[in-house]
Structure 1
Amino acid sequence: MENNKKRNWIPGKYYHVMARSIRKEKLFKNASDYQYFFNLLVKTSEKHSFNLCSFCLMTNHYHLQISSNESISKIIEHINKLYARYFNTKYKFRGPLFAGPFKAIPIHDKRNILIVSRYIHYNPVTANIVDKVEKYQWSSYNYFLPTTTSSPPAFIDFTPILENFQGTEYKQKKSYIEWCSY
């Protein structure tokens, strides 16, 4: 839950939002938990307007690179509350699921949007979950790959990332993948 400290939000600005489970326990125990959380993002986007330009759901935390004209606090609190209710019901737990309030770091320019996106996408590699970022299924990275056949949901907007590169969308995605690999 959000503490009483008032957050200052700038509408339309991107933030790097992170929320971690209490005591770093598993937030997602299996594929159905990851899928439920992803579906929760979809349903929340129907109620609250927001855009993600990258995301990654890790074992005990998640990262969202998010922008909204609405209060991001309300959006994240809504997501965390509904996911905690689902998790506690499914696993017969009581009490808080998240370790304190979520963190939100404002992203000040286009270059930092790229840096934060790469950081988010490479989290599973850094944590030694996978050896290559494209092997991790619970992030937005695979939507950049030319082999991807599925389209991202409407609330995922890669424009803030891709506008840093020249050419067609295909060439921009290819350039982003190359830039991430250095």
Structure 2
Amino acid sequence: MPRQKRIWGPNRYYHIVCRGNRRDPLFRNASDFQAFLHILQQLHAKFPFQLASYCLMNNHYHLQIRSEEVSLSKLMSLINKRYANYYNTKHRLSGHVFEKRFYDNLIEDKERMLEVSRYIHLNPVEAKMTRKPEHYPWSSCYLYKYPHSAAPCFMHVDSLLGYYEGTREQRSEKYCRSLMIQ
């Protein structure tokens, strides 16, 4: 029986999760993390998309993403294929890098947007990889904690900060407080 086609709504945010095959590491060192972020930048230039938050863990990653022009299935296929090619070449491997199709969940409202971003940003804390989420280098949390940081081209922090009033610094502070990030 064939898989059901994924439903995609342009300009709608989704929570995406991809895991390494057999829960093996997807990222073995800093250059692997950097390569993944570089792939996102390259693809953003061809197929515009926006991330509200992201977190790259050792054996999986989370994206809070929306795409205007290209379906998420196509976009995720391109991201995962490019990264799998990089990973297999660099580590002299062959075969599957990812466990299965990506998990996706449509985010319907403001409360869910904030809940998903909280979950994504607190992932390294829950995994006991860091005590403060803004200190984890492979997450977008630092962009909210330190609002003057240079954001990658694919990041759209205003999609979350837009729920708050005030200056950019005030909105960042309120967002971080809502995540209980002090």
TM-score normalised to structure 2 length: 0.94
1:56 alignment partner in structure 2: 55
Three-state SS of the structure 2 residue aligned to 1:26 is: coil
1:13 is displaced (CA, Å) by 0.4
2: CA distance between counterparts of 1:136 and 1:122?
10
1:154 is displaced (CA, Å) by 2.4
Q: Which runs of 5+ in 2 are unaligned?
A: none
Q: Any residues of structure 2 matched to 1:1-182 within 5 Å, and which? A: 4-69=3-68, 70-146=70-146, 149-181=148-180
| Identical-residue share of aligned pairs (%) | 42
CA contact 1:113–1:161 (8 Å) conserved in 2:
yes
Once the two structures are superposed, residues 98-120 of structure 1 have per-residue CA deviations (whole angstroms, 9 ceiling, x without a partner) of 00100110000011100100100
1:155 is displaced (CA, Å) by 1.7
CA contact 1:19–1:62 (8 Å) conserved in 2:
yes
2: CA distance between counterparts of 1:32 and 1:25?
17
Report how many aligned residue pairs link the two structures. Answer: 179
CA contact 1:16–1:66 (8 Å) conserved in 2:
yes
Once the two structures are superposed, residues 109-142 of structure 1 have per-residue CA deviations (whole angstroms, 9 ceiling, x without a partner) of 0111001001000000001111111220100000
TM-score normalised to structure 1 length: 0.94
Q: Which runs of 5+ in 1 are unaligned?
A: none
Three-state SS of the structure 2 residue aligned to 1:181 is: coil
1:149 is displaced (CA, Å) by 4.9
CA contact 1:12–1:68 (8 Å) conserved in 2:
yes
CA contact 1:44–1:79 (8 Å) conserved in 2:
yes
* One-letter amino acid of the counterpart of residue 139, structure 2: S
* One-letter amino acid of the counterpart of residue 101, structure 1: R
* One-letter amino acid of the counterpart of residue 47, structure 2: H
1:158 is displaced (CA, Å) by 1.4
CA contact 1:110–1:160 (8 Å) conserved in 2:
no
1:15 is displaced (CA, Å) by 0.1
